[in-house]
């Protein structure tokens, strides 16, 4: 088992019955394996009797390791290749020689497939220089000087001779080298030129002897001449250096290059080179190197295809580390260079399961292998497997199939207080828990199935379990004797104080048993028949208390609390104690107080009352009745709260008869106004001032101040007409002037009544149609307006419509992307009279709001209610107005209740006046715009079917704001002809504006 080519895993540390493996070593092949076991005598014996050692054959070394240099011969490939442990010889061919003078070098095949040994450096033999005798021709010259084995040169004819250039080579003949034609027998043939007589040639003169003496004195050619002639090119060589004037030389391909055709012959003339050959330079192609290619198991190279004078690289193959080296392709077709030193990569440790053992595999490098077998405790169903260290630094291979051995069940402890069922059927390295048997207590321990086939571990210590007192808390049962009962022991239950055994009953025994359902021990038994004794002392009493304590028995509880209508703290929970008395005390209860209401028309005779108390209700001052009613402190319907309840007396308000609002050119609706009611006082017809409210007090006296009513005056103008035949005077009223007292531009809405505020604005929207059609946009607009003025959104109602261009000739009209918004804000009567949220505050905010602020408010509102992506911007804002039911309209200027049918014609007149001062084109715009705002056509306006009113300041200078206004009422004569109005001054014209009484709003944009 120790023969060459074998390896084993039989370390000196093996113990009795442990096994090891014998197999083929690296560098040998063979599938056989032999298992040896450590016998009782301390030596190794085959596990299988009479098993023979494995048969292993040496493996040949890789051909990549064979020498490849030119001029070398070897025996490494003989007989199928040199094998592991064997040697082969390397020698040089004729024309080559080892520099150390030796003739043979020896290489040895190693287990890793490499050939090791030293090859001495070799050198190439030189041929003797060519002569005329060598060339076998007179008048010939050549480039065959200093030529090495397998190199080439050319022979050619000198001046005065003619003939083709012939290729020669330094060739091996036998064991020597000499210059010979590359074509056997194909020597150069040079014949004299026709002018030379053949009989004058009696010998083979030297080339220079045939030159004329005069030419000897001319300049010869050198390296400069060759450079000037363009001959110094890689891949070319020549023998023109040192040629005398009149001499020929040849330009040929250098060694390692192959020429196409014949080389050109150059003539040296007075130090210059020239040729009549075409082409003037030879075509040379570099030959690929075929010898000395860098190779080996550890080497990779890019040298294949590399040609003469080119470089390539030799690098370490994958799985080996080292620095790459450079190789050069030489002229004789052989690479020159030094192989890199490559060290194999060390494989990472082989990590396999615990069921495997290795041969070992630690420290293996690329190309090495190791065996993997089943570890002790496992059985190999096949055979050990080889794992190889591959180039990436890891092992590759197939693990053997290892089956764990089953441990002997009798190797666990067999004590009766132990439970070892978990260890049945376990195999190598599996563990189990040995626990205490049912009814015993102790810490479990783990046992392991060892590789020897026996369990190993420490025995647990187990003691009997003690039952906890899990006897239920049966009423009246004493279980104190069951506090420390051990497994299989018993205890006795009896009745406790306050209880007694039922007639014929006896004490009960409970036993500590093992409960498989809960894996624990517990007491088990039946309940004894113990009856509770009734409570007889400290029971609750009193009319203010209610309880459920009657008949209560030991350990039972009852609730004692105050009756409804009484108060005295929280209810008390009382328990019947074992001594027969009721625990705790009852609450102290007293009558609860009633809430006394404040009826609107009645007074109560009591200011405070308690549960069950009564009092009377009678009418307040200012009201009359004939009876009183009785009220009682009792519970509200479906509520635990107390309230003084009763019917209200029938109370009629007394009419007010003092401080009646009379005189001052006023009229009112105060007749029959009673206590708590109000009436309205306003100016009589022909007079003007804001209306006021009067309140009837409980003293039958009105409270309020009369309005200041100023009379409205009327002025008339007349015209006269005189004819030639008769004199006739006719008078037509054409203008009515109403002089009105000054009123403020903004009149605050009256507190205590409903106020309506109307207004509007126009905004530009990115998608007007979608904006108006979105069902959620309207609520967003209303919310934005409400948030702006600080009121509830339900107060605001808005209408939206798309405003489209009607006439493209008038670009100042609104375009199709605009939306007009009209809103109405209804301020309820119970709103604050002043401050935030009041009608006057809302109106003031709307009159002063800027377009940017309104844009922000509306945008925020729409974003909160609509998911549409709308972009809007307020363009213009209409002046808001407020009104009250039956009252005046407040437009921020004059309040009026009248409408004038002549206003439409006044609009036309104003348009004419504006056209007179501006330009004729403004006339049409004025007429159209007024008709448009009235919802009329121009034809309707001119025909008198519309309504309107014109207001004009009559003060010579327009005040800021205007203090007096005039109503201009043109009247049409019977013939229906328009009448010319009196001239209007510039100051009057500046104050003209239109009002639309149908919508109670000022029309914007018509103030010049």
- Residue 941's pLDDT is what? 47
Q: Which helix (H) or strand (E) holds 467?
A: strand 466-467
CA distances, 494 to each of 523, 527, 760, 856 (Å) = 15, 10, 94, 86
Number of Cβ within 10 Å of residue 511's Cβ equals: 16
- HSE of 167, CA atoms in CB hemisphere, 13 A: 16
CA distances, 397 to each of 340, 484, 847, 885, 988 (Å) = 30, 65, 95, 105, 115
Q: How far is the C-alpha of 267 from the C-alpha of 621, rounded, in Å?
A: 157
Question: Would you state the structure tokens that stand for residue 113, as one six-digit string?
Answer: 């497939």
- Residue 797's pLDDT is what? 94
Question: Would you state the structure tokens that stand for residue 589, as one six-digit string?
Answer: 């209860």
Phi and psi at 808, nearest 5°, equal -65, -15
Q: In this structure, are residues 562 and 584 in contact, taking their beta carbons and an 8 Å threshold?
A: no
Q: Which residues of the chain have pLDDT under 70?
A: 49-50, 195-217, 637-640, 714-752, 804-816, 833-836, 884-1008
CA distances, 607 to each of 617, 627, 642, 687 (Å) = 11, 20, 15, 52
Question: Would you state the structure tokens that stand for residue 76, as one six-digit string?
Answer: 């490494």
pTM above threshold 0.85 = no
Q: Which helix (H) or strand (E) holds 687?
A: strand 687-688
CA distances, 982 to each of 443, 719, 790, 910 (Å) = 125, 12, 49, 12
Q: How far is the C-alpha of 23 from the C-alpha of 682, rounded, in Å?
A: 132
Question: Would you state the structure tokens that stand for residue 587, as one six-digit string?
Answer: 């609450």
- Residue 996's pLDDT is what? 32
Q: In this structure, are residues 1001 and 992 in contact, taking their beta carbons and an 8 Å threshold?
A: no
By DSSP bridging, strand 152-157 and strand 566-567 are unpaired
CA distances, 437 to each of 416, 463, 464 (Å) = 7, 10, 9
- Residue 341's pLDDT is what? 93
Number of Cβ within 10 Å of residue 80's Cβ equals: 7
Q: Which helix (H) or strand (E) holds 719?
A: none
Phi and psi at 903, nearest 5°, equal -65, -30
- Residue 132's pLDDT is what? 82
**234-293 per-position pLDDT tens digit:** 999 999 999 999 999 999 999 999 999 899 999 999 999 999 988 999 999 999 999 999
Alpha helices in 683-790 (DSSP H): 768-773, 777-789
Cα 591 to chain centroid, rounded: 69
Helix (H, G, I), strand (E, B) or coil at 782: helix
């Amino acid at each position: 088992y120790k023969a060459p080519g074998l390896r084993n895993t039989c370390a000196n540390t093996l113990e009795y019955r442990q096994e090891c493996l014998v197999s083929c070593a690296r560098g040998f092949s063979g599938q056989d394996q032999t298992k040896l076991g450590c016998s009782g005598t301390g030596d190794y014996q085959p596990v299988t009797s009479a098993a023979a050692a494995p048969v292993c054959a040496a493996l040949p070394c890789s051909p990549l390791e064979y020498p490849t240099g030119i001029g070398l011969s070897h025996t490494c490939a003989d007989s199928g290749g040199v094998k592991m442990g064997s040697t082969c010889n390397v020698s040089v061919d004729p024309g080559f020689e080892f520099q150390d003078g030796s003739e043979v070098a020896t290489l040895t095949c190693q287990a890793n497939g490499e050939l090791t040994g030293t090859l001495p450096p070799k050198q190439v033999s030189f041929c003797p220089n060519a002569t005329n005798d060598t060339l076998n021709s007179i008048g010939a010259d050549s480039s065959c000087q200093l030529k090495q084995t397998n190199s080439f040169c050319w022979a050619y004819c000198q001046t005065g001779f003619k003939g083709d250039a012939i290729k020669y080579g330094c060739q091996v003949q036998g064991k020597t080298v000499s210059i010979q034609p590359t074509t056997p027998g194909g020597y150069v043939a040079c014949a004299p030129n026709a002018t030379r007589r053949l009989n004058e040639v009696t010998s083979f003169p030297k080339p220079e002897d045939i030159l004329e003496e005069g030419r000897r004195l001319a300049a010869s050619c050198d390296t400069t001449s060759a450079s000037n002639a363009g001959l110094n090119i890689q891949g070319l060589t020549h023998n023109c250096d040192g040629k005398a004037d009149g001499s020929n030389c040849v330009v040929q391909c250098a060694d390692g290059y192959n020429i196409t055709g014949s080389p050109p012959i150059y003539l040296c003339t007075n130090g210059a080179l020239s040729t009549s050959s075409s082409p003037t330079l030879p075509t040379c192609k570099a030959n690929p190197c075929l010898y000395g290619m860098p190779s080996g198991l550890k080497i990779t190279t890019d040298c294949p295809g590399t040609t003469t004078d080119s470089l390539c690289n030799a690098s370490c193959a994958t799985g080996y580390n080292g620095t790459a080296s450079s190789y050069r392709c030489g002229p004789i077709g052989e690479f020159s260079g030094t192989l890199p030193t490559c060290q194999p990569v060390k494989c990472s440790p082989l990590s396999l399961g615990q069921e495997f053992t290795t041969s070992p595999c630690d420290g293996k490098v690329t190309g090495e292998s190791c065996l993997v077998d089943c570890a002790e405790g496992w059985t190999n169903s096949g055979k050990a497997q080889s794992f190889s260290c591959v180039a990436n630094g890891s092992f590759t291979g197939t693990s053997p199939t290892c089956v764990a051995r089953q441990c002997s069940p009798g190797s666990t402890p067999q004590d009766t207080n132990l439970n070892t069922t978990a260890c049945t059927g376990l195999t190598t390295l599996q563990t189990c828990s040995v626990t205490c048997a049912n009814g015993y207590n102790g810490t479990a321990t783990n046992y392991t199935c060892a590789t020897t086939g026996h369990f190993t571990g420490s025995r647990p210590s187990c003691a009997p379990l003690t039952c906890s007192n899990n006897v239920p808390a049966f009423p009246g049962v004493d279980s104190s004797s069951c506090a420390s009962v051990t497994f299989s022991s018993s205890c006795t239950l009896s009745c406790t104080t306050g209880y007694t055994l039922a007639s014929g009953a006896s004490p009960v025994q409970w036993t500590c048993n093992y409960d498989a359902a809960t894996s624990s021990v517990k007491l088990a038994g039946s309940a004894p028949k113990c009856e509770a004794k009734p409570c007889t002392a400290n029971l609750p009493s009193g009319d203010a208390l209610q309880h459920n304590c009657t008949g209560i028995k030991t350990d039972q509880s009852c609730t004692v609390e105050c009756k409804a209508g009484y108060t005295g703290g929280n209810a008390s929970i009382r328990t019947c104690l074992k001594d027969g008395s009721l625990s705790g005390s009852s609450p102290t209860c007293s009558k609860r107080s009633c809430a006394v209401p404040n009826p609107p028309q009645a007074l109560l005779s009591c200011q405070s009352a308690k549960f069950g108390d009564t009092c009377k209700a009678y009418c307040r001052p200012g009201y009359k009745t004939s009876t009183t009613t009785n009220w009682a402190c009792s519970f509200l319907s479906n509520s635990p709260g107390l309230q003084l309840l009763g019917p209200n007396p029938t109370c009629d308000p007394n009419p007010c008869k003092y401080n009646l609002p009379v005189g001052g050119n006023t009229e009112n609706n105060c007749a029959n106004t009673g206590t708590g009611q109000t009436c309205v006082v306003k100016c009589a017809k022909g007079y003007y001032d804001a209306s006021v409210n009067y309140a009837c007090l409980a003293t039958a006296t009105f409270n309020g101040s009369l309005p200041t009513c100023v009379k409205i005056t009327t002025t008339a103008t007349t015209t006269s007409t005189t004819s030639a035949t008769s004199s006739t005077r006719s008078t037509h009223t054409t203008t009515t002037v109403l002089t009105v007292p000054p009123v403020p531009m903004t009149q605050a809405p009256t507190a205590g009544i409903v106020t309506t505020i109307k207004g509007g604005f126009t905004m530009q929207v990115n998608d007007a149609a979608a904006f108006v059609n979105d069902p959620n946009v309207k609520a967003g607009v209303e919310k934005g307006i409400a948030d702006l003025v600080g009121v509830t959104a339900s107060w605001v109602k808005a209408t939206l419509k798309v405003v489209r261009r009607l006439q493209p000739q008038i670009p100042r009209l609104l375009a199709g992307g605009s939306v007009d918004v009209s809103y109405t804000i209804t301020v309820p009567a119970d709103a604050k009279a002043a401050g935030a949220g009041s009608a006057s505050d809302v109106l003031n905010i709307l009159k002063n709001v800027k377009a940017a602020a309104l844009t922000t408010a509306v945008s925020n509102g729409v974003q909160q209610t609509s998911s549409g992506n709308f972009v809007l911007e307020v363009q213009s804002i209409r002046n808001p107005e407020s009104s009250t039911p039956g009252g005046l309209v407040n437009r921020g200027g004059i309040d009026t209740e009248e409408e004038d049918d002549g206003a439409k014609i006044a609009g036309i007149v104003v348009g004419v006046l504006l056209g007179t001062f501006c330009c004729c084109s403004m006339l049409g715009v004025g007429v159209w715009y007024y008709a448009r705002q009235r919802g009329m056509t121009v034809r309707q306006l001119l025909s008198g079917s519309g309504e309107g009113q014109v207001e004009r300041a009559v003060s010579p200078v327009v005040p800021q704001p205007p203090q007096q206004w005039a109503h201009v009422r043109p009247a049409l004569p019977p013939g229906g002809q328009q009448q010319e109005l009196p001239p209007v001054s510039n100051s009057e014209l500046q104050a003209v504006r239109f009002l639309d009484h149908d919508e109670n709003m000022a029309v914007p944009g018509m103030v010049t």
